Amino acid sequence: MVDHQKAQQAVAMLLEAIGEDPSREGLVETPARVARMYEEVCGGYDENAAEHLSTTFHVDGSEMVVERDIRFYSLCEHHLLPFFGTAHVAYIPDGEVTGLSKLARTVEVFARRLQLQERLTAQVADALMDDLHAKGAIVMVQAEHMCMSMRGVRKPGSQTVTLAKRGLFAQDERLVDDFFRMVR
Amino acid sequence: MVDHQKAQQAVAMLLEAIGEDPSREGLVETPARVARMYEEVCGGYDENAAEHLSTTFHVDGSEMVVERDIRFYSLCEHHLLPFFGTAHVAYIPDGEVTGLSKLARTVEVFARRLQLQERLTAQVADALMDDLHAKGAIVMVQAEHMCMSMRGVRKPGSQTVTLAKRGLFAQDERLVDDFFRMVR
Ligand SMILES: Nc1nc2c([nH]c(=O)n2[C@H]2C[C@H](O)[C@@H](COP(=O)(O)OP(=O)(O)OP(=O)(O)O)O2)c(=O)[nH]1
Ligand SMILES: Nc1nc2c([nH]c(=O)n2[C@H]2C[C@H](O)[C@@H](COP(=O)(O)OP(=O)(O)OP(=O)(O)O)O2)c(=O)[nH]1
Task: Give tens-digit pLDDT for B154-183.
Answer: 999 999 999 999 999 999 999 999 999 999
Mean pLDDT over the full length of chain B:
97
Evaluate whether B114 touches B75 at the Cβ level (below 8 Å). Answer: yes
Q: What is the pLDDT of residue A11?
A: 98
Regarding whether A152 and A122 lie in a shared domain, the answer is yes
> How many separate domains does chain A show?
2
Regarding whether A164 and A130 lie in a shared domain, the answer is yes
Mutate which of B4, B151, B155 to test chain A, going by most A C-beta atoms within 10 A?
B151
Regarding whether A53 and A36 lie in a shared domain, the answer is no
Residue nearest ligand 1's atom 17 by CA: B33
Regarding whether A143 and A54 lie in a shared domain, the answer is yes
pLDDT at B1 over 90: no
d(CA B179, CA B98): 18
Say yes or no: B149 contacts chain A, CB-CB below 8 A. Answer: yes
Nearest CA in chain B to A19: B2
Q: What is the mean pLDDT of residues A38-42?
A: 97
Give me the CATH number covering residue A37. Answer: 1.10.286.10
pLDDT at B73 over 90: yes
Regarding whether B128 and B106 lie in a shared domain, the answer is yes
Regarding whether A104 and A13 lie in a shared domain, the answer is no
Evaluate whether B149 touches B116 at the Cβ level (below 8 Å). Answer: no
Residue nearest ligand 2's atom 5 by CA: B116
Lowest mean pLDDT among A47-61, B4-18, B113-127: A47-61
Regarding whether B108 and B25 lie in a shared domain, the answer is no
In terms of phi and psi (left: phi > 0; alpha: psi -120 to 50; beta: otherwise), the region of A152 is left
Radius of gyration of chain B (CA): 19
When pLDDT is cut at 50, 70 and 90, the band that residue A61 belongs to is confident
pTM score:
0.94
Q: Which of A36, A51, A163, A176 is nearest to A108 (CA)?
A: A51
Give the ligand with the smallest distance to the CA of B111. 2
* C-alpha distances out from residue B28 to A57, B8, B125, B139, B176, Å: 43, 11, 42, 42, 52
pLDDT at B91 over 90: yes
Say yes or no: B32 contacts chain A, CB-CB below 8 A. Answer: no
Atom in ligand 2 nearest the alpha carbon of residue B117: 31
Regarding whether A53 and A24 lie in a shared domain, the answer is no
Q: Give A-chain residues touching B2 at CB under 8 angstroms.
A: 17-19
φ, ψ (nearest 5 deg) of residue A63: -90, 145
When pLDDT is cut at 50, 70 and 90, the band that residue A1 belongs to is confident
Q: What is the pLDDT of residue B61?
A: 86
pLDDT single digits (tens) A84-119: 999 999 999 999 999 999 999 999 999 999 999 999
Evaluate whether B104 touches B69 at the Cβ level (below 8 Å). Answer: no
- Shortest Cα–Cα distance, A160 to chain B (Å): 18
Regarding whether B85 and B57 lie in a shared domain, the answer is yes
Q: What is the pLDDT of residue B66?
A: 97
Q: Which residues of A are catalytic?
A: 76-79, 117, 145, 147
Give me the CATH number covering residue A100. Answer: 3.30.1130.10
> What is the CA(A140)–ligand 1 centre distance, in A?
20
Half-sphere exposure at residue B116, Cβ-oriented, CA atoms within 13 angstroms: 10
Mutate which of A45, A71, A79, A80 to test chain B, going by most B C-beta atoms within 10 A?
A80
> What is the CA(B26)–ligand 1 centre distance, in A?
10
d(CA B13, CA B10): 5
Q: Which domain holds residue B134?
A: 50-183
Regarding whether A63 and A28 lie in a shared domain, the answer is no
Regarding whether B141 and B96 lie in a shared domain, the answer is yes
Q: Which of A102, A71, A68, A74 is nearest to A88 (CA)?
A: A68
Nearest CA in chain A to B145: A82
Regarding whether B61 and B147 lie in a shared domain, the answer is yes
Q: Which of A142, A144, A147 to mutate to test the pocket of ligand 1 (most atoms within 8 A of CB)?
A: A147
Q: Which of A140, A138, A121, A141 is nearest to A175 (CA)?
A: A138
pLDDT single digits (tens) B96-113: 999 999 999 999 999 999
When pLDDT is cut at 50, 70 and 90, the band that residue B35 belongs to is very high
Evaluate whether B123 touches B141 at the Cβ level (below 8 Å). Answer: no
